[in-house]
């Protein structure tokens, strides 16, 4: 298994993995993105970045992240999604992706890395505990949705 930066053409497989993640999170109907928009955001406007995990030249996982900003800390990295196909879980695949995102964060000298995990996702929670992450139950997430046709 090897981690590399996403490149044009990967958006189709990444989008397929995004649909897999949405199904896992019981939210398939919430995916509104498409490969063309994802490619534009990743490779043209660079709103976000992604790394992929390959095995035998097939993409088996991805992590998508972007720069956020803390008024207290300055630039931060926000890990939007990390996903590995079910058959490759438990083989260190998720850790390879996570460790690479941490390395990117440190290389950029960001002072914080954030992400969310669903309260029922015990495997992910246990993974984050193993890497000594702070899992904060104090903050309540706020969100607005806008659908444009």
Q: The domain spanning residue 52 has which CATH number? A: 3.40.630.30
Residue 149 has pLDDT above 80, yes or no: no
For the chain, state the CA radius of gyration: 15
Would 143 be classed as within a structural domain? no
pTM over 0.75: yes
Examine residue 141 and state whether it is found in any structural domain, yes or no.
no
Contact at 8 Å (CB) between 58 and 66? Answer: no
Res. 118 pLDDT band, cuts 50 70 90: very high
> Is 51 inside any structural domain?
yes
- Boundaries of domain holding 68: 2-130
The predicted-structure confidence for 4-17, as pLDDT tens digits, reads as follows: 999 999 999 999 99
Does 137 reside within a domain? no
14, 65 Cβ separation under 8 angstroms: no
148 is written with which tokens?
């444009």
Q: How far apart are CA 85 and CA 61, in angstroms?
A: 6
Does residue 136 form part of some domain? Answer: no
Choosing from 12, 65, 78, 128, the catalytic residue is 128
Q: Are 108 and 77 in contact (CB under 8 A)?
A: yes
With respect to residue 135, please indicate whether it lies within any of the assigned structural domains. no
Catalytic residue list contains 66: no
64 three-state secondary structure: strand
pLDDT band at 79 (very low <50, low <70, confident <90, very high): very high
Q: Is residue 81 part of a domain?
A: yes
The total number of structural domains that make up the chain: 1
The percentage of residues in the chain with a pLDDT greater than 70, rounded to a whole number, is 100
């Amino acid at each position: 298994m090897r981690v590399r930066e996403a490149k044009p053409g990967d958006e189709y497989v990444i989008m397929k993995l995004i649909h897999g993640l949405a199904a896992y999170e019981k939210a398939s109907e919430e995916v509104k993105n498409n490969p063309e928009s994802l490619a534009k955001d990743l490779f043209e406007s660079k709103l976000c970045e992604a790394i992929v995990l390959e095995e035998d030249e097939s993409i088996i996982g991805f992590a998508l992240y972007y720069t956020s900003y803390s008024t207290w800390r300055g630039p931060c990295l926000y890990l939007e999604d990390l996903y590995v196909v079910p058959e490759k879980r438990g083989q260190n695949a998720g850790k390879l992706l996570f460790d690479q995102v941490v390395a990117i964060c440190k290389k950029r000298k960001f002072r914080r890395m954030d992400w969310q995990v669903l309260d029922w996702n015990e495997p992910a929670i246990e993974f984050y505990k193993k890497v000594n992450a702070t899992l904060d139950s104090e903050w309540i997430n706020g969100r607005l949705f806008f659908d444009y046709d």
